[in-house]
Amino acid sequence: MSEMTEASPIPEQQAPAEPAVTPAGTPAGTPTVTPAGTPGRRPGPALRIAAAVVAAALLGVGIGVGVIKVEYDDAAPTAAPAPAALPSASASPSFGAKSNGTHFGSMRDLLVPLPEGYTLGPDDGAYGNDTELTADQRTAWIEDSVRGYPQKLQDAIRSQWQQFQLKGAGIRSYVSPDTSFTVTMWLLQYHQDAVKADNTWVSVLGSDSGLFRIGPDIAGHSEAHCYLPFADPGAKIDRLICSAAEGDLRVEMRVEGIAPLPKDKAVTIFNQQLDRLARPGAST
């Protein structure tokens, strides 16, 4: 869902010779990278061979799904424990999370509403700015995600998406009250084991690849991770990427705005989104 250079989406670039996909989830021959410890330091030319693969993982392409094998049978979801009886029972919620981590309801309801003072932001490509993706759009999203990669890698990702199935997806974008930054929030719904594995893999790549600066922590959500792509000294625009797993939903937030980004404000929105999805029920 990128942000590997100062231009926005990762441009379709000429891919290296088709690599074999290794169990670690990266093409064979990807350079070993020593984590960079100095903010503002940009990766050298050798790292850019791997940059597209790493960024794809952080930006929702789902390469982690393409390299893990999970055997499962979808068990019938169990409802969340009923709250203590009240004099008058309220209507069943139209969206939320069950105690087993399965979410129900529309993606637009599950996405965090516009905070006070915020307005809807720009469209994210063909997917709009406040959308629950249809089945055809989800298929198109997968195709968009693999475009520009070697054919073997494309086929591997498509094959695994067929196994795990992208059951739902939604996007909402937000513009801050002072218009200094925009937030794009994505929800991707698929099998919980794959969601968890992908998020773990993203965490390792984001922290150990040397291609990103470590971002702020998300209080109360240890499974959430934030990263900042490297920027040239004095760059006027900065970006932040956050990823988390909540049951059967992968949550991704992208922030772009005038440097320095008000990371605390962006993190507040991400925290609200994760709280909204938390089991046994989504908050309103």
What are φ and ψ of residue 138, in 5° steps?
-65, -40
Query: Tell me, what DSSP letter sits at residue 273?
Result: H
Residue 272's contacts (CB-CB under 8 Å, 6 or more residues apart) are: 112, 115
Long-range pairs, 155-161, Cβ under 8 A, ≥24: 156/21, 156/66, 156/67, 157/61, 157/62, 157/63, 157/65, 157/66, 159/66, 160/62, 160/65, 160/66, 160/67, 160/68, 161/62, 161/65, 161/66
Angle (CA) 186-255-13 rounded to 5° is 80
In this predicted structure, what is the pLDDT of residue 92? 79
In this predicted structure, what is the pLDDT of residue 208? 67
* DSSP alpha helix (H) spans, the chain: 48-58, 107-110, 135-146, 151-164, 192-208, 263-277
Residue ranges of domains in the chain, CATH in brackets: 45-69+95-277 (3.40.1000)
* DSSP alpha helix (H) spans, 89-220: 107-110, 135-146, 151-164, 192-208
Q: Could you give the angle at which helices 135-146 and 151-164 cross, rounded to 10 degrees? A: 150
Alpha-carbon distance 191 to 173, whole Å? 25
Per-residue tens of pLDDT for the chain, all 284 residues: 433 333 333 334 343 333 333 333 333 333 333 333 333 344 443 333 344 444 444 444 444 443 333 333 344 444 444 444 444 445 778 899 999 999 999 999 999 999 999 999 999 999 999 999 999 999 999 999 888 889 998 998 898 888 888 999 999 999 999 999 999 999 999 999 999 888 888 787 777 666 778 888 888 888 899 988 887 888 899 999 999 999 999 999 999 999 989 989 999 999 999 999 998 744 54
Alpha-carbon distance 96 to 98, whole Å? 7
In this predicted structure, what is the pLDDT of residue 246? 94
In this predicted structure, what is the pLDDT of residue 253? 95
What is the value of pTM for the model shown?
0.69
Decide: 215 and 226 in contact? Cβ < 8 Å. yes
In this predicted structure, what is the pLDDT of residue 103? 95
In this predicted structure, what is the pLDDT of residue 231? 79
